[in-house]
Structure formats: structure tokens, C-alpha cells
Amino acid sequence: MLVQLVLLGIVGIAFVNAAAPPYGQLSVSGTKLVGSNGKTVQLIGNSLFWHQWYPQFWNTQTVKALKCNWNSNVVRTAMGVEQGGYLSDANTAYRLTAAVIEAAIAQGIYVIVDWHAHEPNADKAIEFFTKIAKAYGSNPHLLYETFNEPLDVSWNNVLVPYHKKVISAIRAIDKKNVIILGTPKWSQDVDVAAQNPIKGFSNLMYTLHFYASSHFVDGLGNKLKTAVNMGLPVFVTEYGTCEASGNGNLNSGSMSSWWSLLDQLQISYVNWAIADKSEACAALTGGTSAANVGTSSRWTQSGNMVASQHKKKSTGVNCNGGGGAAAKPAAKPAAKPAAKPAAKPAAKPAAKSKGKSSKAKKPNAKKSG
């Protein structure tokens, strides 16, 4: 089926050869993500790294490899906002995001369009998501993530007003596709959001992020269980096998406990990150190109752990035909990608931090993403 897409301000009108996603149109029922048949589903996949530092993986080759070699049914576009991202060069950020969206539509998997920020900027987020919704919102492949990892700010006074503005802008165009909302303290305080969930809109979910060597099932996992027991639909849009900084030791035992809990609760999860950066949570070894994302010899220890987990799951993907090449992606970035930070931006707190070497760090609970 050919789907006509309007790439506003970039290439006019394009045509994408669309393949249906595994579960059709997604929606939210109670605490569950459900497919078009009303049955609970899990999305399991990979997050790309901030676009301004690893744009070489934002393309069809990567998306196809994630589907066919990693058994992933979702890819996340971590479109960086700060640190040389969208606020500095909106056209390149949008162009790369559009290329991945089109690849996901063509390959028949879901795509989370992530406003990868740590500071609230509702006006710019609305500008971005309005373009995305107009161009792609008619496709069931799309999910919106309106705020990656808010810092330690008030849910009621800062994030609820922010989310309501951005949700309203998206819903003015796209009435159906799921919207995932960032929660306080690097998207760890889902229990706080559960005390006052946003009302008046359908198909909303709430973000939890964790890093297995910094956050544990008997700690942050209890906050997750509390939120779910209170009726909050949660989506893990980012997790790492390592420390919240995106580096340090891997913790396979903690990771196994997290996967077991998420599978038990039927919660979707997306791994950080598809990049060949020299840090523990990166899925690819140094020098890997998009052409080799599907080559297991190019996967790091973390990458192998994640791919092994994905392959245990029934994700509904089909690599035997279907999923042609995406419409010509918008032009290549005009300028060089922003310089990669030597280390992640500010660190996240131990329990809430998860900083990545190129991202602000979160406290213990924080991460690298």
C-alpha cells in the first residue's frame, strides 16, 4: 500500500511503500498497550543514540537490521534537543527523524518519535510534533514521546502543564496514536505521576527509565509496581544493561530480574543504544557501520545480551518479504554532526540517574540517555 506523506518544509510530497506493523493500530486499555484486536502486546526494540553524535545509524539499513537480525518490533529516534541538537539545527534533526520514520513504516515496525530533552521547552516541542503529526500521524506505526527525561522537577506544577500543551497540539492532528509522557527525576518517578495522571485524553502512557547496574528491581522496580497497581500504563522507552552513566559494569543478574518483571507485567521496553561509542551500554563495537548493525560479530557484550533477550520473544516481525525501502530520505545533514562530548552530559543521580557519556547524567537512578 502506498501512503502519501507530506514532508513539510523539506521535500514536499513523498511516497512510502508501507508494510503493516505487527499489531496494527495500538491503543491503551487500563495499564496495557493493546493491538487492533484488543489483545495486550509488548513492543521490544532499540533506541538510536542522540542524532547529533551518531547520525550514521539513522537510516533504513539500521532499521531493517534491527527488525531482521535483532527481532525488534520498535525503534526509538532519540532526537537530541539540547547540546547541538534540534535547538541549534532543527532541519537536520527533523530530516534524520523523518528518514527513520519512513524506514520503520516501510519495514513494518513501530517507531517512537522521541523529543530527547532534559529541559522543558513546550513551544519548540509543539513546533516539532506538529510537523511530525501532519506528515506521519495517519500511520499506525507512530508513537510520540514528548519529553525524554525531565530533571528533578515538579510533576504537578511543571510537567503536567507541559504535557497538556504538547498533547493538545498532537491531538489536534493525530487523534489515535499513543503518546508517552516523561516523568520526574529522569523518568523514574512513575509513582508520583500515578497520583495525578493526566486526564481528558486517550491513549497516554508514562515513561520509566532504568540502568541495571544503578537501579534494581527491589528499589526502582517497587516504584514501577506501585504505579501499575495504581492503574498507570507504563512504557520503558529506555533502559541500559550498565550504570546510569551509560558506562561502567554490566549487571546481567539485575538485567534478568528487570526483564522478568517487565515480561510479567507485559510492559514494553527499548534498549539504549544503537551506537559504536566506547562505553558499556553501546550495542556496537567501535567502527561498526549501519551496514553491519545486523552482524553479531559487531555486537558488544551488552548488544549480545539484548539481542539474545529479543530473540526469545515473539515480536510479530516478518523478514520474508514486505517492507520495501523507505521513500528517499530527506537530504543528508548539511553540516557535520555536533562534536561528541567526551563524556555524557551531566550525570544522573544514583537512583534516578542514568546519564550516558553523551548525555546529562542522572543520579543513581539516572542514565546515559
> Average pLDDT in the 32-38 region?
99
The one-letter code for the residue type at 308 is: S
Q: Given a cut of 50, is residue 57 above it in pLDDT? A: yes
Q: Given a cut of 50, is residue 114 above it in pLDDT? A: yes
Q: Given a cut of 60, is residue 351 above it in pLDDT? A: no
Residue with cell 516541542: 125
The one-letter code for the residue type at 205 is: M
- With 0.95 as the threshold, say if the pTM is over it: no
Instruction: Provide CB contacts within 8 A for 310, sequence distance 6+.
Output: 44, 45, 70, 71, 72
* Among 118, 277, 134, 129, residue whose Cα is nearest residue 207: 118
pLDDT given for residue 11 in this prediction:
36
pLDDT-derived band of residue 368, with 50, 70 and 90 as boundaries?
A: low
**Catalytic-residue membership of 149:** yes
What's the CA gap between 273 and 317, in Å, rounded?
A: 20
pLDDT given for residue 15 in this prediction:
54
pLDDT given for residue 369 in this prediction:
81
Cβ atoms of 11 and 271 closer than 8 Å: no
pLDDT given for residue 356 in this prediction:
38
Q: Given a cut of 80, is residue 323 above it in pLDDT? A: no
pLDDT given for residue 359 in this prediction:
39
123-181 residue pLDDT tens:
999 999 999 999 999 999 999 999 999 999 999 999 999 999 999 999 999 999 999 99
pLDDT, mean over the chain: 88
pLDDT given for residue 360 in this prediction:
38
Residue 267: other Cβ atoms inside 10 A:
21
What's the CA gap between 67 and 76, in Å, rounded?
A: 13
The one-letter code for the residue type at 247 is: N
Per cent of the chain over pLDDT 70 is 83
C-alpha cell at 134: 501532519
Q: Given a cut of 80, is residue 232 above it in pLDDT? A: yes
Would you state the torsion angle of the CA atoms of residues 98, 99, 103, 105, taken in this order, to the nearest 10 degrees? 10
Domains by residue range for the chain, with CATH = 2-311 (3.20.20.80)
pLDDT given for residue 320 in this prediction:
79
What's the CA gap between 156 and 78, in Å, rounded?
A: 25
> Average pLDDT in the 31-55 region?
99
Q: Specify burial of residue 202 (Cβ count, 10 A radius: 0-12, 13-18, 19+).
A: exposed
**Catalytic-residue membership of 82:** no
pLDDT given for residue 6 in this prediction:
38
C-alpha cell at 133: 503529526
The one-letter code for the residue type at 123 is: D
Which of 102, 145, 149, 279 is catalytic? The answer is 149
| Peptide bond between residue 273 and the one before it cis (omega within 30 degrees of 0) | yes
Residue 263: other Cβ atoms inside 10 A:
15
> Average pLDDT in the 281-301 region?
99
Among 151-155, 233-237, 344-348, whose mean pLDDT is lowest? 344-348
Per cent of the chain over pLDDT 90 is 81
39-48 residue pLDDT tens:
999 999 999 9
74-89 residue pLDDT tens:
999 999 999 999 999 9
296-330 burial string, b = 16+ CB within 10 Å, else e? Answer: eebbbebbebbbebbeeeebbbbeeeebeebbebb
Cα dihedral sign, 334-57-62-74: negative
Which of 82, 102, 145, 238 is catalytic? The answer is 238
C-alpha cell at 63: 532499521
pLDDT given for residue 169 in this prediction:
99
By residue count, the chain amounts to 369
Helix (H, G, I), strand (E, B) or coil at 270: strand
> Average pLDDT in the 335-340 region?
46
pLDDT-derived band of residue 17, with 50, 70 and 90 as boundaries?
A: confident
Q: Given a cut of 70, is residue 352 above it in pLDDT? A: no
Ordered DSSP codes for 301-347: HHHHHHHHHHHTS------SS---PPSPPPPPPSSPPPPPPSS-SSP
Helix (H, G, I), strand (E, B) or coil at 290: helix
